[in-house]
Structure 1
C-alpha cells in the first residue's frame, strides 16, 4: 500500500513538472523562429528539462541535482556563444534554467512551482510591452522617484523601530508609513495624469486614495496646484470626492468599535457621502481639461516632492501626539477634548474615541452624538486649512464649501434623527 501511495505521489510531481514545462515551452516555441538562427529551446526542450528537474528531486541525490543544474547552465552558455542573431538575449537561457528549478520545486511544493511557471511565462510573453514601458513610456524623473519610494518601502521601513517612543506617544514606523502613503498618493496621481485625461485622472485617483487618507489626498492635490500642474477647480473636485471615503470610514469605525452605533450613523453617513460625491462631480464637470500637458509630461518631472510630504507628515504626527498626551493626562475629559483635537488630523481616531464613551440609548449617548458632530466639524475645518496650506487661497476657497457641505449634511441628518 505504501509503495502504491509513493507511486501516485511521484506521478503527481511528474505531472506538475510536465505541465509547467509545457506551459513555458509553448510560449518559447512560438518565438523560437526557424532556420539556422532559431532560438535555443522550444516546447520539447523545456518540457524535458522540467521533467529532468523533477526526476532529480525525486531521486534524492544532491549530486544528481547539481549535475542537472550544471548541464542546463552549460547548455545555455553554449547556445548564447553560438547565437548569431542581430539581437542576442539571455531570456530563453535563463528561462530554461528556471524550468529545471521549477521541476525540482514541484517535488516539494507543486502549487508554488505552478505559480512560478505562470509568472515566468507571463514575463516571457510580455516582452514587447515591458520593453516599450521601460524604454519609451517611463520617464527619467519617474525612475528616480520610483527608486526613492522603493528604498523607503522595502529597505528603510522594515528597519525602523515598530514600538512607541517618548513615553508611548510616538511610533517611528507609523510616521514613516504615513510618509509612504503620501508618496504613493502623489505617484498614483502622477501616473493617472499620464494615462488618462486630466478630469478622469483627478476623479479616479482621488476616490482611490481617499480610502487611504482623505486629508493626505487633499494635501497632495494642493501640492499639484501650488506647483502649477493643474487648476484649483480641477484638483478641488478630487479633494471633495475623496471625502466620500470619510463617511465610509465613520461607518467602518463604528462597526469595529461599537456596532450598536451603526444603524444610527448609516443614514447620516449616506447623506454626507452623497453630498460629497455630487459636489465633487459638479466641480469636475466645470473644471475642463485644464491640466498643463508640458508640466505633467516633462521627462524630468518627479512623481512626488519629498520635502512637502515630510512637512505634511510632521504636521499630522504632531497633532496625533497631542491627542494621546491629552488622553493620558486628563482622563475622560481629556479623551473627549483629544477626540476634537484628533479631528484636526484623523477622523478614525476622533470617531473611535467618542463612540467608545457610551452606547445608543444610554444617558451619555446624546453627549456622544454632540461630540461626534463637533469632531467631524473640526475635521472639516482642518481639511480646509490643509487645503490652504498645501494649495493656496484659490484652492482652499474651492475645496472648503464642498467639505463643509457634506459635513453639515451628516450633522443635520444625525440631529434630525
Structure 2
C-alpha cells in the first residue's frame, strides 16, 4: 500500500507531465490548421501522450515504457504517411514522441522534464524566426565559420595534449584554446559590425572593431581626421572606446593561459574599461555621433580569418617561449626586457607571456605583476605614437588622453589588489 508521501510525489509527477503536454499541445494547436489537411495532434493528444509516459514510468516499468514509445512512434509514422498536405513535415510527429519521453523524464526528474518541455515549446514557437535566421540572415561563410569553431571546440581541443612541452610553456591545449578564443573574438566583432553597420553608429562600431585590433582602430580613425573627414574630438572619443576591448581581451587571455590570474585582474580591467568609456563619452556627448563611412563587412564575408588567428597564436606562443628563455638566462631582468619588447608589438602577446610564467600566489607573482604593469604602460605609449602619426597632435591628445587614463587606472588598481 502506498504511503501519503508516495501518492503526493506521484501526483506532482503526473501534474508536471500534464502541464508539459498542455504547454506543447497549445503551441501545436495554434498551427494545427482546420479542415481535412489539419495536423493530427493538438492539445489533448499532447497532454494525454505526456501523461501516459509519466504513468508508464511510475507504475509499468521499462517494458511498458518501451511499448508506449513504440506505439507513439508508430502513430507518428502512420500520421506522416497519411499526410496529404502540400508541404508535409515531421515536426509535430517528432514533438509528439518527445512529449511522451518528457512524461517519462518527469517521473525521474520533474524539474528536468519541465525544463525540457519549456525548451521544446520555445523551439516550436520560434519556427518563423529560426527559418528567417537560417535562410535570410545567416550567410554561407558564417555557416562554414560556425562549423570550424565547432570542430575546434568539440574535436581538436579535447584531443590536444594538456601538458607543457618545455617548462611552463608550449602547452598544445593552451595553444588550441588560444586560437579558439581569437576566432571567437573575431566572430563577435564580425557579427557586431553586421548588426551595427545599418545604424552607422561610430561609437559601437569602434568598440566592435577594437576586438579585432584596438591599435588598428585608432590608426584608421586617425586617418579620417588627417584627411579632414571627421573632427579630432569625435574620433578621439571613439578611439578611447575601442580601448574597452583591450581590457576585455586581457581577461580573455588570462582565462585562456592562466585562469588563476582572473581573480587579480578583473577589478583593474573593469576600472580601466570604465575609465576609457567615460573618457570617450565625455568627448562624444557634446556632439552626437551621426552617420559615418564605416565599412560594413562585405557580402558573404567570413566571420574570421583562420590564418590570421594562427599567426597571432604562433606569435603569442613564440613570445611566451622567448620571455621564458630570457627569464631562465637573466632572471627577473630578462622577464622585464622580454615583456617590454613584446608590448611594443602586441599587448596581448606580452600579457600572455607574463601570465604563463606563473600564478599570482607564487613567489614570482609580484614580479610578474610589475612586468604586466610595465607592458601595459609601454603599449599605451605605442598607441599614443600611432595616434599622433595617423591623425596629428589634436587627435593624439584626444585619443591618447583616454589611452593613458585607462592604462593608469588599470595599473593603479592592479597595485592595490
Shorter-chain TM range is: 0.7 to 0.9
Q: State whether structure 2 residue 292 is matched by structure 1 residue 289.
A: yes
What is the alpha-carbon distance in structure 2 between the residues aligned to residue 113 and residue 195 of structure 1?
Answer: 36
2:140 alignment partner in structure 1:
140
CA contact (8 A) 2:202 2:294 kept: no
CA contact (8 A) 1:162 1:172 kept: yes
Residue from 202, 214, 220 that aligns with 1:218: 214
1:361 alignment partner in structure 2:
none
The Cα RMSD (Å) is 4.7
Q: State whether structure 2 residue 186 is matched by structure 1 residue 183.
A: no
2:167 alignment partner in structure 1:
167
1:23 alignment partner in structure 2:
23
Displacement, 1:313? 2.0
CA contact (8 A) 1:247 1:273 kept: no
Using structure 2 for the length normalisation, give the TM-score.
0.75
Mapping for residues 384-395 of structure 1, pairs under 5 Å: none
Using structure 1 for the length normalisation, give the TM-score.
0.75
1:345 alignment partner in structure 2:
347
CA contact (8 A) 1:357 1:368 kept: no
The 3-state SS of whatever aligns with 1:106 is helix
1:362 alignment partner in structure 2:
none
Displacement, 1:396? 12
Compared with structure 1, are the counterparts of its residues 15 and 269 closer, same or farther at alpha carbon in structure 2 (3 Å cutoff)? closer
Mapping for residues 282-361 of structure 1, pairs under 5 Å: 288-292=291-295, 296-298=297-299, 300-341=300-341, 343=343, 344-346=346-348, 348=351
CA contact (8 A) 1:219 1:312 kept: no
Post-superposition Cα deviations, 1:296-319, rounded to whole Å, max 9, x if no partner, equal 352x42222211221122222222
What is the alpha-carbon distance in structure 2 between the residues aligned to residue 158 and residue 349 of structure 1?
Answer: 21
What is the alpha-carbon distance in structure 1 between the residues aligned to residue 23 and residue 38 of structure 2?
Answer: 19
CA contact (8 A) 1:345 1:382 kept: no
Displacement, 1:121? 0.5
2:49 alignment partner in structure 1:
49
2:224 alignment partner in structure 1:
none
Compared with structure 1, are the counterparts of its residues 144 and 411 closer, same or farther at alpha carbon in structure 2 (3 Å cutoff)? closer
Residue from 401, 406, 411 that aligns with 1:405: 401
Displacement, 1:330? 3.5
Post-superposition Cα deviations, 1:34-93, rounded to whole Å, max 9, x if no partner, equal 211110100100000001111111125211011000000000000001101111100000
The 3-state SS of whatever aligns with 1:164 is coil
CA contact (8 A) 2:247 2:270 kept: no
What is the alpha-carbon distance in structure 1 between the residues aligned to residue 25 and residue 314 of structure 2?
Answer: 53
CA contact (8 A) 1:141 1:302 kept: yes
What is the alpha-carbon distance in structure 1 between the residues aligned to residue 160 and residue 58 of structure 2?
Answer: 43
What is the alpha-carbon distance in structure 1 between the residues aligned to residue 315 and residue 145 of structure 2?
Answer: 23
Mapping for residues 25-104 of structure 1, pairs under 5 Å: 25-104=25-104
CA contact (8 A) 2:20 2:117 kept: yes
1:256 alignment partner in structure 2:
263
Where does structure 2 lack aligned partners over 5 or more consecutive residues? 222-226, 255-259
Post-superposition Cα deviations, 1:136-175, rounded to whole Å, max 9, x if no partner, equal 2222222222222221122222222222222331222222
2:257 alignment partner in structure 1:
none
Where does structure 1 lack aligned partners over 5 or more consecutive residues? 226-230, 359-364
How many residues are matched? 388
The 3-state SS of whatever aligns with 2:36 is coil
Displacement, 1:235? 10
Compared with structure 1, are the counterparts of its residues 336 and 190 closer, same or farther at alpha carbon in structure 2 (3 Å cutoff)? closer
Q: State whether structure 2 residue 279 is matched by structure 1 residue 275.
A: yes
CA contact (8 A) 2:320 2:353 kept: no
What is the alpha-carbon distance in structure 2 between the residues aligned to residue 266 and residue 36 of structure 1?
Answer: 61
